[in-house]
Amino acid sequence: MFFLKKVVGGIVDVGADFWLPDWCISNLRHVSVPQPPARQPAVYAEKHESDEEKQFRKVFQQLAGDDMEVSPNELMNILNRIISKHGDLKTDGFSIESCRSMVAVMDSDSTGKLGFHEFKHLWNNVKKWQGVYKQYDADHSGVIGADELPNAFKAAGFPLNDQLFQMIIRRYSDESGNMDFDNYIGCLVRLDAMCRAFQTLDKDRNGTIKVNVQEVMESKISVDSSFAVTSLRVGCCHCSGFS
C-alpha cells in the first residue's frame, strides 16, 4: 500500500506516478464537491423525482436518444451546440478527445457513457462555470487572461497555489496566457473529478489516504494521465512508504 501525505511543492504523491494538488486536500472540508447520485431503476427514479428533475429528464431524453445515455460524440455535439449560441465565448469548440476525457472522469459505472445523474452533474457544473467565465472575462475579449484566471478558478471552487496555476497555464492556455472556454471547462472537469476521487478514497476525512495500485487505477485520479502527471507533476517521484 502507498501512504499519501503532503510533500514540498504543494503536491501529494499518489503511488509512483500520480499527484494531487495541495489545495485539493487542505480545502476538502471547505469546498463541496458532490458526487453524482448512484443510478436507480428508471421507474423508481422517476417516481421519486422533483418537478425540476422530471423536467430535466425530459430534456435528457431528447439529448441522449433511445439508450438514455450520452456518448462522447453526443456530448461533443451538445456542448458545441450550446457554445454556438454564445458568440461572446471564444473557443475552438470541444474536440472528440476532450469529450472522451470528460466522459471518462464522469463515468462512475464504467459504461463509457453518461447516465442521467452523471450528465446532470456535468451539465449543472458547465452552466455554473459558464457564468464564472463570463464574470471574469473582464475586458469582454471572449477569453480569460492570465491575470484574471486565478480568481476565475477560485470562484469556480478551485483555489490554486501559484505553482499549480503555472502548470495549468502551460497545459491549457495559449502562448499569451489566455484560456478559451473549452479549455477552461475541460480543466475544471478534471479538477472536479480528481477532488471527488480523493474524497471517495479519504474515508476518514483527515487529508491522507492509503491506496494500492488497483485502487489508484480504478479511481479518477489516474484517468487522463496527461493532466494528472504532465500538468501536476513537480520534480521526481517521492514514495513515502509501503505497508
Which pTM was predicted? 0.69
Q: Per the domain annotation, does 28 fall within a domain?
A: yes
Q: Read off the pLDDT of residues 80-98 as tens digits, 9 standing for 90 and up.
A: 988 888 888 888 899 999 9
In the DSSP assignment, the letter for residue 140 is -
Residue 26 has pLDDT above 70, yes or no: no
Q: Is residue 109 part of a domain?
A: yes
CA-wise closest residue to 128 among 86, 185, 85 = 185
Q: Is the pLDDT reported for residue 242 higher than 70?
A: no
Residue 98 lies in a domain: yes
Q: Could you tell me where the DSSP H helices lie in 65-174?
A: 72-84, 96-106, 116-136, 149-155, 162-172
Alpha-carbon distance of 78 to 70, in angstroms, equals: 9
Tens digit of pLDDT for each residue in 29-63? 444 445 555 555 544 455 667 777 888 888 888 88
Decide if 242 is inside a domain: no
Give the pLDDT confidence score for residue 46 in this predicted structure.
Answer: 56
Q: Is residue 159 part of a domain?
A: yes
**Domain contains 236:** no
Gap between the Cα atoms of 195 and 157, Å rounded = 11
pLDDT at 59 (0 to 100):
85
The CATH number that applies at residue 95 is 1.10.238.10
Query: Residue 221 — φ and ψ, nearest 5°?
Result: -60, -40
Of 66-80, 158-172, 200-214, the range with the highest mean pLDDT is 66-80
Top-ranked range on mean pLDDT: pick from 21-30, 142-151, 211-220: 142-151
Q: Which of 57-71, 143-157, 217-231 has the lowest mean pLDDT?
A: 217-231
When divided into structural domains, the chain yields a total of 1
Identity of the amino acid at 204: D
Kindly report, residue by residue over 214-227, the tens digit of the pLDDT.
766 665 554 444 44
**Residue 52 forms part of a structural domain:** no
Grid cell at residue 33: 464537491
Q: Which domain holds residue 95?
A: 2-37+58-231
Q: Is residue 51, in this structure, part of any structural domain at all?
A: no
Could you tell me which of 177, 243, 203, 242 has the C-alpha nearest to residue 28? Answer: 203
Looking at residue 152, its pLDDT comes to 95
